[in-house]
Chains A and B, each alone.
Chain A
Amino acid sequence: DTAVSQTPKYLVTQMGNDKSIKCEQNLGHDTMYWYKQDSKKFLKIMFSYNNKELIINETVPNRFSPKSPDKAHLNLHINSLELGDSAVYFCASSYTGEEQFFGPGTRLTVL
């Protein structure tokens, strides 16, 4: 039974397009996160929601907009995609704010 799931697993698109990545967790956690892992494997937090409320918003271009319809879902919408947006995006969730469970990742390639 998958704990944190993401769709799609792979996303290949052209520069300038708009795309969304979806995340769902069935762990009953209150907090969800989006991370970006670049080509050098560096993991950096982008956003976090606690009970549908945005609580962490790092220095991310405003082309990136997270949305949390309920505490089990956190989606990421990206407008006007750029080459530098190519990366693996991980969703994660946590109950205590400490142990974080990661999703399988979405590999985004912008051509």
Chain B
Amino acid sequence: GENVEQHPSTLSVQEGDSAVIKCTYSDSASNYFPWYKQELGKRPQLIIDIRSNVGEKKDQRIAVTLNKTAKHFSLHITETQPEDSAVYFCAANAGGTSYGKLTFGQGTILTVHP
């Protein structure tokens, strides 16, 4: 089955800096890669996703890049703000299944210091 590895496990930055979180996946048939943000005590919420026919996608201060050959994808947050502090999860779907079996990475605790 799919295996998703996420690094780093913790990331501490100063407000205004950029943050990058990286994930690798094992199933070459995976074609959907979402990123979720989970604030303390809250539910995971989708912040951006990318499909395998696209190499990069941006939404304001966040961007995701995908390298299908190397089987890795990354989340980039620019101009970080204290409210970006949360746990971030990457995920990959299993072999192009249509029912959304997502395998999640281990999570990255991002702390943005004012």
Contact = CB atoms under 8 A, between A and B. Distances in A.
Given A43-B89, A105-B43, A99 B34 contact: yes
A33 B44 contact: no
B43 A98 contact: no
A108 B82 CA distance: 30
A100 B100 contact: yes
Interface string B9-41: 000000000000000000000001010001000
A48 interface: yes
Given A41-B87, A98-B49, A48 B104 contact: no
Contacts, number: 55
Interface band, chain B? 20 to 34
B44 A94 contact: no
Interface of A: 31, 33, 40-45, 48, 50, 55-56, 90, 94, 96-105
Given A50-B99, A55-B99, A98-B100, 5 more contacts: A42-B104, A98-B32, A98-B93, A104-B43, A105-B43
Interface of B: 32, 34, 38, 42-46, 49, 87, 89, 93, 97-104, 106-107
